[in-house]
Structure 1
Amino acid sequence: MRVDIWSQLKLSTDRLQSLHASSQDISTLKEKIAAGFKILEPLELYWKFPGINAFRRLQQHFERQEYSRLSWEVTQIIRLMSSRAELYAQAYMDQIFASEQKDGQQIISVDKYNQNSNQLDFTVLFIEDDITPEKEKELRQKLAEIASDKDKFIYQLIVLSNFEDALTALMLNHSIQCCVIGYDFPLRSNNRLSLLEEYMSGLEQAELAGEYYQPRGLTLGAIIHKLRPELDLYLLSDVSVVDVDAETNQNFRRVFYNQEDYLEVHLSIIQGIEKRYETPFFDALRNYSKEPTGVFHAMPISRGNSIFKSDWIQDMGEFYGQNLFLAETSATSGGLDSLLHPTGTLKEAQSLAARSFGSRQTFFVTNGTSTANKIVVQAILTPGDIVLVDQNCHKSHHYGIVLVGAQPLYLNAYSLKEYSIYGAIPLKEIKQQLLKFKREGQLEQVKMLLLTNCTFNGIVYNVKGVMEEILAIKPDLVFLWDEAWFAFARCTSTYRERTAMQAATDLHTRYHSPQYRKEYAAFKEQFDRLDPEDDHTWLNQRLLPDPDQVKIRVYSTQSIHKSLSGLRQSSIIHIWDEEFNRRSEIDFLEAYMTHTSTSPNYQILASLDLARRQVDLEGFKLVHSQIDMAMVVRQKVNTHPLLAKYFKILTPEELIPETYRPSGLKRYQTQEDPEVEFQRIEQAWEDDEFVLDPTRLTLYIGKTGIDGYTFQNSVLMEQFNIQVNKVSLNTVLLMTNIGTTWGSVTYLLDCLHKIAEGLEQELRQYNQVEIKLFENKLQHLTLNLPSLPHFSEFYSGFRSHPATRQGDLRSAYFLGLDEEKIEYLKLDNEIDEIMASGRELVSSTFIIPTPPAFPILVPGQVVTGAIVFLMKQLAPDVIQGYRPDFGLPVFTQDALDSLNKTTGSAMTKTTAFTHLAIAVTNLNASIAFYAKYGQMSVVRLRVEPGTVWMSDNIRPFALALLEEEEAKPILPPSHIGIACVSCEQVDQLCKLARKEGCLLEGPKDYGPPTGYAAYLRDPDGHHVEISYGQEAAYESRYTPYTDLA
């Protein structure tokens, strides 16, 4: 880090001055200072202060052995770098440089510059070819003359003359808020840094190969817009405005032709920063609080009158201060606005947030992301719709599904038993479930995919990759990404690419491009050569959606208070749904009305407005600092001998299985060349199915012999006042955020060091018995860990379809509220004996232990031995929904029996029809026939003799094919019946059968009871009926049609 190198330089120059004055050896110290200068010299080009000229002056002092002057000037620079007065620092340093150090000489105090009024400073990057020192001086002088001391915003210029330097400055200097870009300029810099070498080399080769031709100013603008979309970009064009295309206008805030008046440039710069600084609702609320107001409405607390004239609660006023109560009001006029029907400042604030976060619409939520999740679920889903949902998701999603009456199919994440942690949902798992629904004719019922990004422990999805392949199977599927912990990701380009809104924007642009149509055509040509009925066709390659059918419908929910500067419960809903106005807007607004208070907290709304401003103006800087601090914690814990003995920050290699990391990235700190390491990290974030957010620090504590709950409460909180978010049996989740300071990082490391030292001291004093006990704890926390169970299944009485796993969560939930329908079982021998007897236990409520902090049982779910075993390993007080004095709530057998009678479940029957066996002479031909015309698949195989069982995976019976020398065909009126979902499907199968020569009769409407049908002949002459509209039709599951009483 640049500031760290300057700090080291200060310490070294101070020491150099001291040693030189006492005539001691300074050769080693001089080498260290020279090395520091060598690192800093190429970097200072990209900062106004102290800048390259001041830096060269310091080098001169060093070369002339003016060590006292060198030390003093470096100290002044450090003081200014640590203040907010960098803009005035140059004037201060000019005094220093113009003077000579003499005894008693008075230099103006730096405090004068720190105390400048309310002006806010920022940096403007100016990129222009052939800008001589004279032209640069003229530019600075003219812009300085235009600026006024009364301006709210003032800026300093960094002037560069080539593409590479400009990009480098933008990546390194976080104070840059605006770029004024010339039309064309050189590509490469003489100041070569390895930071962009690979990227610049690729750009250079593309230009030489003639892959594109356009002025570099336009190219640079497009790249900056992608890397730092929050910045204001202005183009100094050499061509007339009519030649500037729409894409250029989209990237640049304004285009100036042939260096127009400097006044226009200055005013545009100030106007741009003012627009981003604007906080409409916060400004209106602050202005309202200053107005004299009479309150003849609700809220006695408004204006603080009921507080400050109270005899008993004046301490409330002293604690919160006057402004809070002056801003408390129920008014929606006077510059304020209504959250439920915004037309003024709240509407503007939400529009600004949408621009900042890349959405089409953004809605503020004042009662947390739990409510935001329920709003989106209710807006999109209706009773009976199927939603694919991450079992690991926040409990608000489960409750939202209950409220709306949708049917969840719970997806299984990969699990990490050794750390008691669940990961994320593999893409292949999602595709497999969708293909099952497709086979069963239920794909149209699937309305939403709901995933958490990123997970508690920092597993981040490849959002674009997931959505692209899923849309190839279901082109109008709605995606809800729970980004409760990921709002900060918008602030940097690497993170941003894996956010819902950026992915939606990029995919929409991609699918509407001519290049994509060519890519899709090539994919389709290759795909059509494969068997679409074979799952491997879909699972073992990257899928592309049809651009003529695909619809981008993406929602995300974010807890602004979790990772940005919002008050608690401040949340946001972002929408990028091209069908929103046509299909979802009314439903969404109704859901928003359902869950939103008519008395929203104005302070929360104002904090959302301000958090957006901070994202726009300093999010890039703050998130980079957050990452830097996390990297330091990782490096210190994992390399310090004592800390590494008891602790470990888990790496990508340990949290993400290798199959999901094709980049090969194993850890964030390696002994590799930094450039190679950086490239591998970039490759991982671009291509890998999952990556690890480095700011999520999963601290493995198994070797301490202390479990996660004890470590969280009795050690970190009680002994050191350190708050952490989440624990497992042997891990503690730490995280940095934009409010983390270097002081708090140092304190954390010091505390971990003290804990390790304490363990060392205790172990040295242990006797043999205590050592044995400690070893047993280690074994319990590192080896004998319980398996993490996946979702078992819904009980048959709560399943609408036997071949797919979705369930009626709502019915199970409300049935579980009837006390007569439930019983409680203690987690001891009682429940073990009941399960061993063969009785199927079904949960009547949500059971949510921590870990894993999400339901391991939902209403209607079958209880398994693995789930019971896990619960036994956990402390009872960390299991929501379970009362140790009561036991585990499950449905009574009578309740289940009653349910079976209602739903026709076969669970109480003692016999069951299982299969029909027919003889065939060519097993492979018959398998192919029934797979094609009956959409059956092989569910069991016996090689000797050749026998297979085939099933449609909907009904609990199968067709068995027995390979024989001869096969006597099944002839009319006997036949094998196959039901279709529509007349159109019957027609399609008949068209294929006619082509293959196996169509005997039809298709036609035979009337009741046959319906619309046709008759086929299988390879051995067995008659097969395909039909639509029969009484024993496609919908028949466990309850066939009957006219018997």
Structure 2
Amino acid sequence: MMQKKSKSAPYYNIGQLRVEYWNKLKIETSDLRRCHKGSTNEKVHKQNVRDLLKELKGVESFFAFPGKERIQKFENAFISNEYASLAHMVAETTRQLLGDSYKSNPDFIGFDEQSMDSAEEHEQYHSIRKNHFEVLFVDNITTEDEQKLKHSLRTLRSPGDKFTYDVLIQRSFQDAMIALLFNHNIQAVVIRYAPPYYSKQITPVIKPYAEEVLKHDFSSKSETDLGPFMGELIKQFRPELDTYYVTDTALGHLKGSTIKGFNRIFYQTEDIQELHLTIIRGIAERYNTPFFSALVEYSQKPTGVFHAMPISRGNSVFKSRWIHDFGDFYGRNMFLAETSATTGGLDSLLQPTGPLKKAQEMARDAYGSLYTYFVTNGTSTANKIVMQALVKPEDVVLIDRDCHKSHHYGLVLSGAYPVYLDSYPIEEYSMYGAVPLEQIKAKLLKLKEAERLDKVKMLLLTNCTFDGLVYNVERVMEEVLAIKPDMIFLWDEAWYGFAGFAHNYRQRTGMFTANKLYKKYNSANYRRRYNEHIRGLKNGEQSSLPDPDKVRIRVYSTQSTHKTLSSFRQGSMIHIWDEDFRRKTENTFLEAYMTHTSTSPNYQMLASLDVGRRQVQLEGFELVEKSIEMAMVFRAKVNDMPQLSKYFDVLTVHDFIPDKFRQTGLKEYYSKNEGWNRMEEAWEKDEFVLDPTKITLFIGKTGVDGDTFKNKFLMDKFNIQINKTSRNTVLFMTNIGTTRGSVTYLINALLKIADALDEEFKALNDKEKEIRDKRIHSLTKEVPPLPDFSYFHPTFQAVPGVPGGHLREAYFMAYNENNYEYVPLEDCLSIMDAGRILVASTFVIPYPPGFPVLVPGQVVSDQIINFMTALDVSEIHGYRSDLGLRVFTEKALNNEKPRTPNAKRPIEKKKKQLI
């Protein structure tokens, strides 16, 4: 989780603290071993070791490894002055802990490798690769009973088990919840009876990292309710975990919510073997990958191939003298798994009934949706599928203008009328933020006033944006549903697929929020609150709460699994939480799915989606947390190292989000003087937050523009690849594959770039310095304008004076080459000043920023021309510099039946505020 860190604990999370403390202990015990007896140095190191052991004992109480027993061995060796033995044990434990080797060789945890006598023992030690995890038992038992429980469970192990586990005992509610926040290895929780509430083992070093638990006080709950309530909380914080309840409460007295809330309920008198087998079975179910396993099995079958695809089984490759290297590069398994068959143990993506169906159901459960569909053409196709499935010609869609271009093309295909929403500009860095909620509501109320609210079908927003802006999904949905209770929400989560596996992030996802609001609006408490709210409204006042009798929860999320999780390129998913799906949408959705989905999908990609789901269910919590930690480490290094901060700045929350959208006032995640700032409150309350894994580096002080920095410096010199730049920034992203080594390499590269810039600047003569200073001034002070969406020309307005444009009509009107002409960009302003209205006949999409600055039917404004003139990027889709801007001819506009009379340019400019 993300907690505020005090100066006495200057680490981002407990994992970082743990690593640092173990490394310090390793160094101190090594130094202590070499000290002369009775020397001043020995006294200093003894005190340091004593302090570190005390602190680590408190931290390690929340982990099964290295465990209390091993810590006790360290203390005994320290008290006995056995410093060499202590140093060896600490070094070995640190190596196992930091290298995660204990997870692969669990049966040898605590085993001293140097004491192995035979080669066979060494071979066995290094060959064991069982998946290992920890089971949290919550029970206020004695130390003696704890040892009996661990022994009983250990005796139930079998050599044939695919998994092994250790037991972690926590004796209070608070300790159990802290362990769940700290310990990524926990995969199952067994709550036995009713544990006491308060912890007795929270030390000062732990406290700053446990605030997510300590800020709540549930101690007033009865002992009978505390166990089941913990089960509910676990599903909020760690929903991927298996939860079990051990009780003596008679079945007749157990609440329905308790029975449904756990994977299984046991009684104390039942055999502990049944509990053990159930725990192993629960892990095996999540580990199962139906389609990947089916594909592996298929690839091993001897077959005769008489269908399409000569590449199948690798026959056309490995028998070739000319492309054999292609086969050598990818390996035989890739080709053995290639087939166009949908039987023989495999399945059809268009009508799955076997392993693909099961794989999608398991993904549904993992991501918290009602339905999940795999997509093999990327999220661009997923977006078009959802758009075509849900909206028809003349429906109205509210859409953020700077969303991915696939949504705009989806509008063309569907024939819906877009109402474009403008994100607030971040002009200093040549990028856009996100769409304020007030603007969305203002557009809706205007449509309601024009009696067009019944035509509004969908709100489409990008969450999170490429640059990391994340919406308050719950607030947006609640306030929109208060105006339009049957609104369909499409959250483009292309860059947010990982968010369901970290608590703060999860709260701002479409699926989590849909489930939460559905339960909320169907509760008696909400109905009472709504009725009180309605009674307090003045005549004609708009309710800010949705009507529970009218509201429908209809939410769709499209995710680029391949962008942030483990999947082959173009592997994506559509997640659906739509209570009306079966009744209203399933048929049209499946038609759209078949329209856009290949009849020959890539099986390797589908298998990767299946395996990626397994990964996030079993280690997503850990991997996402580590990716955030890596981003925070990078932020700290750039801030703290003078050579880096001389040329580079990591843009902060304050840089990205105006004050009025940050209700908690959080300005930055890290500063050199104050350390880490608290984040969870901002993620709970603020209208917008910044995803810390998106790191925007301001490079204006280098005098090098973003595109040049990306190619000439990062790629050409260091082979560092990034996706996005702006005029004066470059964007780095951490993900579940980011390692400490890769972050270190990036910092090393930036330091070398900074050193090279030092040398280059020293060598400049006066004239060259003047040129350099002008470049820096341009990149840091001369801010090009960022245009808003102007408006649709009256010819393409759905209804005069009302938001909504006929994008499809304008798009296809340009299929006739007689309807458009080219105007040189440098001539546009003078032509517009002379009174002609220029109307775009095509999408114009500069990269960056990567979204349309003009769409077909849109009136060209002064601001748009100024923006395009100031652009220093070479890639602009829909625009050719040698020809100019492609616009509709005046004759074409005049011949087209107008929806409102044409007007002179000054009058059109007034309409901009309305449309």
Q: Which residue of 2 aligns with 1:1031?
A: none
Q: Give deviations 1:424-478, integer Å, cap 9, x for gaps.
A: 0000000000000000000001100000000011000000110000000000010
Structure 1: gaps (5+ residues): 915-938, 941-950, 956-1045
Q: Which residue of 2 aligns with 1:844?
A: 841
Find 1:425's aligned residue among 419, 435, 456. Answer: 435
Q: Which residue of 2 aligns with 1:903?
A: 898
The 1:200–1:596 alpha-carbon spacing in structure 2 relative to 1, beyond 3 Å, is: closer
Q: Which residue of 2 aligns with 1:779?
A: 777
Q: Which residue of 2 aligns with 1:559?
A: 560
Q: Distance in 2 between matches of 1:94 and 1:229?
A: 31
Q: Distance in 2 between matches of 1:231 and 1:517?
A: 32
Which amino acid is 2:207 matched to? S
Q: Which residue of 2 aligns with 1:581?
A: 582
> Within the alignment, does 1:260 sit opposite 2:270 as a pair?
yes
Q: Distance in 1 between matches of 2:747 and 2:511?
A: 36
Q: Distance in 1 between matches of 2:78 and 2:834?
A: 86
CA contact (8 A) 1:42 1:191 kept: yes
Structure 2: gaps (5+ residues): 1-15
The 1:253–1:700 alpha-carbon spacing in structure 2 relative to 1, beyond 3 Å, is: same
Q: Which residue of 2 aligns with 1:50?
A: 66
Q: Which residue of 1 aligns with 2:867?
A: 870
The 1:22–1:420 alpha-carbon spacing in structure 2 relative to 1, beyond 3 Å, is: farther
Q: Which residue of 2 aligns with 1:993?
A: none
Q: Distance in 2 between matches of 1:165 and 1:108?
A: 43
Q: Which residue of 2 aligns with 1:976?
A: none
What secondary structure is seen at the aligned counterpart in 1 of 2:670? Answer: coil
Q: How many residues align?
A: 895
Which amino acid is 1:906 matched to? P
Q: Distance in 1 between matches of 2:873 and 2:692?
A: 32
Alignment of 1:750-789 (within 5 A): 750-789=748-787
What secondary structure is seen at the aligned counterpart in 1 of 2:491? Answer: strand
Find 2:75's aligned residue among 59, 62, 70. Answer: 59
The 1:660–1:673 alpha-carbon spacing in structure 2 relative to 1, beyond 3 Å, is: same
CA contact (8 A) 1:181 1:234 kept: yes
CA contact (8 A) 1:168 1:195 kept: no
Alignment of 1:482-881 (within 5 A): 482-526=492-536, 528-532=537-541, 543-670=544-671, 680-828=678-826, 830-875=827-872, 877-881=874-878
Percent of aligned positions that are identical: 49
Alignment of 1:130-169 (within 5 A): 131-169=141-179
Q: Distance in 1 between matches of 2:526 and 2:424?
A: 33
The 1:473–1:521 alpha-carbon spacing in structure 2 relative to 1, beyond 3 Å, is: same
CA contact (8 A) 1:388 1:450 kept: yes
Q: Distance in 1 between matches of 2:138 and 2:873?
A: 64
CA contact (8 A) 2:247 2:267 kept: yes
Q: Distance in 1 between matches of 2:272 and 2:899?
A: 82
CA contact (8 A) 1:486 1:558 kept: yes
Q: Distance in 2 between matches of 1:188 and 1:491?
A: 27
Which amino acid is 2:199 matched to? S
Please, what TM-score do these two structures have when normalized by structure 2?
0.94
Q: Distance in 1 between matches of 2:746 and 2:101?
A: 30
Q: Distance in 2 between matches of 1:16 and 1:107?
A: 32
Which amino acid is 1:427 matched to? L
Q: Which residue of 1 aligns with 2:464?
A: 454
Find 2:247's aligned residue among 233, 237, 262. Answer: 237
CA contact (8 A) 2:397 2:460 kept: yes
Q: Distance in 2 between matches of 1:84 and 1:429?
A: 49
Q: Following TM superposition, by how much is the alpha carbon of 1:572 offset from its aligned partner in structure 2, in angstroms?
A: 0.3
Q: Distance in 2 between matches of 1:464 and 1:881?
A: 37
Q: Following TM superposition, by how much is the alpha carbon of 1:6 offset from its aligned partner in structure 2, in angstroms?
A: 1.1
Segment drifting more, 215-224 vs 358-367: 215-224
Q: Distance in 2 between matches of 1:560 and 1:233?
A: 27
Q: Distance in 2 between matches of 1:122 and 1:552?
A: 37
Q: Give deviations 1:673-716, integer Å, cap 9, x for gaps.
A: 87xx66x4111000100001011101111111110110111111
Q: Following TM superposition, by how much is the alpha carbon of 1:889 offset from its aligned partner in structure 2, in angstroms?
A: 0.8
Q: Distance in 1 between matches of 2:890 and 2:572?
A: 43
Q: Give deviations 1:207-229, integer Å, cap 9, x for gaps.
A: 34x6x664321121111111001
Segment drifting more, 570-579 vs 768-777: 768-777
What secondary structure is seen at the aligned counterpart in 1 of 2:442? Answer: helix
Q: Following TM superposition, by how much is the alpha carbon of 1:739 offset from its aligned partner in structure 2, in angstroms?
A: 0.3
Q: Give deviations 1:526-555, integer Å, cap 9, x for gaps.
A: 2x22543xxxx57xxxx1100000000000
Q: Following TM superposition, by how much is the alpha carbon of 1:93 offset from its aligned partner in structure 2, in angstroms?
A: 6.2
CA contact (8 A) 1:207 1:213 kept: no
Find 1:122's aligned residue among 97, 113, 133. Answer: 133
> Within the alignment, does 1:176 sit opposite 2:176 as a pair?
no
CA contact (8 A) 1:80 1:89 kept: no
Q: Following TM superposition, by how much is the alpha carbon of 1:60 offset from its aligned partner in structure 2, in angstroms?
A: 3.3
Q: Distance in 1 between matches of 2:834 and 2:155?
A: 90
Find the structure with the greater CA-based Rg.
1
Q: Distance in 2 between matches of 1:148 and 1:278?
A: 20
The 1:882–1:382 alpha-carbon spacing in structure 2 relative to 1, beyond 3 Å, is: same
Q: Distance in 1 between matches of 2:269 and 2:91?
A: 40
CA contact (8 A) 1:165 1:189 kept: yes
CA contact (8 A) 1:50 1:90 kept: no
Which amino acid is 1:623 matched to? V
Segment drifting more, 807-816 vs 18-27: 18-27
Q: Give deviations 1:183-228, integer Å, cap 9, x for gaps.
A: 2111112111314765655654x534x6x66432112111111100
The 1:61–1:498 alpha-carbon spacing in structure 2 relative to 1, beyond 3 Å, is: same
What secondary structure is seen at the aligned counterpart in 2 of 1:287? Answer: helix
CA contact (8 A) 2:70 2:110 kept: no
CA contact (8 A) 1:488 1:564 kept: yes
What secondary structure is seen at the aligned counterpart in 2 of 1:903? Answer: coil
Please, what TM-score do these two structures have when normalized by structure 1?
0.83
The 1:114–1:470 alpha-carbon spacing in structure 2 relative to 1, beyond 3 Å, is: farther
Q: Give deviations 1:106-132, integer Å, cap 9, x for gaps.
A: 699995565244422111111112x22
> Within the alignment, does 1:302 sit opposite 2:312 as a pair?
yes
Q: Following TM superposition, by how much is the alpha carbon of 1:21 offset from its aligned partner in structure 2, in angstroms?
A: 7.9
Q: Give deviations 1:146-190, integer Å, cap 9, x for gaps.
A: 210011111111122211211111111111101111121111121
What secondary structure is seen at the aligned counterpart in 1 of 2:555? Answer: strand
Q: Following TM superposition, by how much is the alpha carbon of 1:19 offset from its aligned partner in structure 2, in angstroms?
A: 4.0
Q: Following TM superposition, by how much is the alpha carbon of 1:9 offset from its aligned partner in structure 2, in angstroms?
A: 2.0
Q: Following TM superposition, by how much is the alpha carbon of 1:876 offset from its aligned partner in structure 2, in angstroms?
A: 5.4
Q: Which residue of 1 aligns with 2:87?
A: 71
CA contact (8 A) 1:730 1:782 kept: yes
CA contact (8 A) 1:802 1:954 kept: no
Q: Following TM superposition, by how much is the alpha carbon of 1:831 offset from its aligned partner in structure 2, in angstroms?
A: 2.1
Q: Distance in 2 between matches of 1:306 and 1:240?
A: 67
Q: Give deviations 1:853-902, integer Å, cap 9, x for gaps.
A: 10000011111111111111223522111111111111112112222xx2
Q: Which residue of 2 aligns with 1:1040?
A: none
The 1:582–1:779 alpha-carbon spacing in structure 2 relative to 1, beyond 3 Å, is: same
Q: Distance in 1 between matches of 2:135 and 2:500?
A: 22
Q: Which residue of 2 aligns with 1:1007?
A: none
Which amino acid is 1:722 matched to? I
Alignment of 1:190-201 (within 5 A): 190-192=200-202, 193-195=206-208
CA contact (8 A) 2:375 2:597 kept: yes
Larger RCO (alpha carbons 8 Å, 6+ apart): 2
Which amino acid is 1:15 matched to? D
Which amino acid is 2:741 matched to? G
What secondary structure is seen at the aligned counterpart in 2 of 1:806? Answer: strand
Which amino acid is 1:893 matched to? E
What secondary structure is seen at the aligned counterpart in 2 of 1:548? Answer: coil
